[in-house]
Homo-oligomer: A and B are copies of this chain.
Amino acid sequence: MMDTILENRTIDMIAAHFKTAPHKIGRIHEADAEIVDLGGGSPHYLAVTTDALVEEISSGLYDDPYFMGWMLAMVNFSDLAAVGADPLGLLLSISYPMNGDSRFAAKLARGVSDACNKLGTFVLGGDTNQGGELLLSGCAVGLVPKQSVLTRKGARAHDSLYMTSRAGLGNVYAFLKLGRMRFLPARSFYKPVARIKEGRIIREFASSCMDTSDGVIHTIDTLMRLNRRRFVLYGDWAAILHPIAYRVCRAQGIPAWLVLAGIHGEFELVFTVSPQRERPFLSAAAETGWTPLKIGEVCEGQGVSIQGNGGATPLDTAAIRNLSEQAGSDPQAYIKRLVQIAQESGIA
């Protein structure tokens, strides 16, 4: 099921060479961060993850050093949020060209620092190198109470499908930036925050969870494959899309659905909650002033569907995800193909 997705095949091919760690919880693809039993009766698991910014920089999507720093921190902490972990901090692995000026490094460091401050966490250390190309990799560590750890597995039929908040800004940012459709300054509206705070509530109630860093459709497709259930997404785009994302789509004639299908997501969490836990979950969320967004439901069967007025339309999410293999090399062709798939599915 998971190997229908090309990206997973590369990872699986590499991972096939490695022995399974007996103290690791769950298998490959099953959680946003690695979950490790610390032994010795610790009430916590260690959560650890690594994420690099590569295509984002080589494609020109991120060109501002402050923004790169912010995103480097957030992309790593978002993986911790998705397993319900409290962050201990971040390690940085930075490689930049010899001729890189020190102002660049300073701005980058400020972006990382502001992101950590925003989440109440810290840079613990790192490694710097002189390289021909700019390369930014991070590693976040955190702790999660054993009884509350979240993985991508555990969703059942009749669970409700939730998202922390309205999505689509990540892809709107990418479309504007790469498509040079700059009718508004892209950077001004896109400065995402990893959902660490919400993750602490979600971990007490959800049956499965994953972040939307590769886009909402990608996330739902992965949850569908791992849980072998049918995931139905409500087609009410005005309710699911961030208001700016929705407005940009209308102004630019972009099918709204596209900003969920593109692979430059944001750091919302998509998660499932069983019917019995839904009321206490919503109460706990309301106490913090947060209103989770219901975006669909889990049903018997398999596949992903969009629920419109005329019933549920199945969506070829494997085709959408496998398109992303070419996104870095030719963003324009990628967007065009996405629009085609949408039209063929009668969804756009």
Contacts and interface: CB of A to CB of B under 8 A. Distances in A.
Contacts of A95: 52, 54, 135
A58 B328 contact: no
A312 interface: no
Contacts of A98: 329
A280 interface: no
A74 to B, nearest CB: 15
A155 interface: no
Query: Main SS of chain A's interface residues?
Result: mixed
Interface in A78-125: 88-89, 91-95, 98, 102, 105-106, 108-110, 112-113, 116-117, 121-125
A58 B122 CA distance: 31
Interface residues of A, number: 70
Interface of A: 10-11, 13-21, 23-24, 28, 33-34, 36, 38-40, 42-44, 46, 48-52, 54-55, 58, 88-89, 91-95, 98, 102, 105-106, 108-110, 112-113, 116-117, 121-133, 135, 137, 139, 141, 143, 328-329
26 contacts: A10-B102, A13-B102, A13-B106, A14-B105, A14-B108, A14-B109, A17-B110, A18-B122, A18-B123, A20-B122, A21-B124, A34-B124, A36-B141, A38-B88, A46-B141, A48-B48, A48-B139, A48-B141, A50-B125, A50-B139, A51-B93, A52-B93, A54-B95, A54-B131, A93-B137, A93-B139
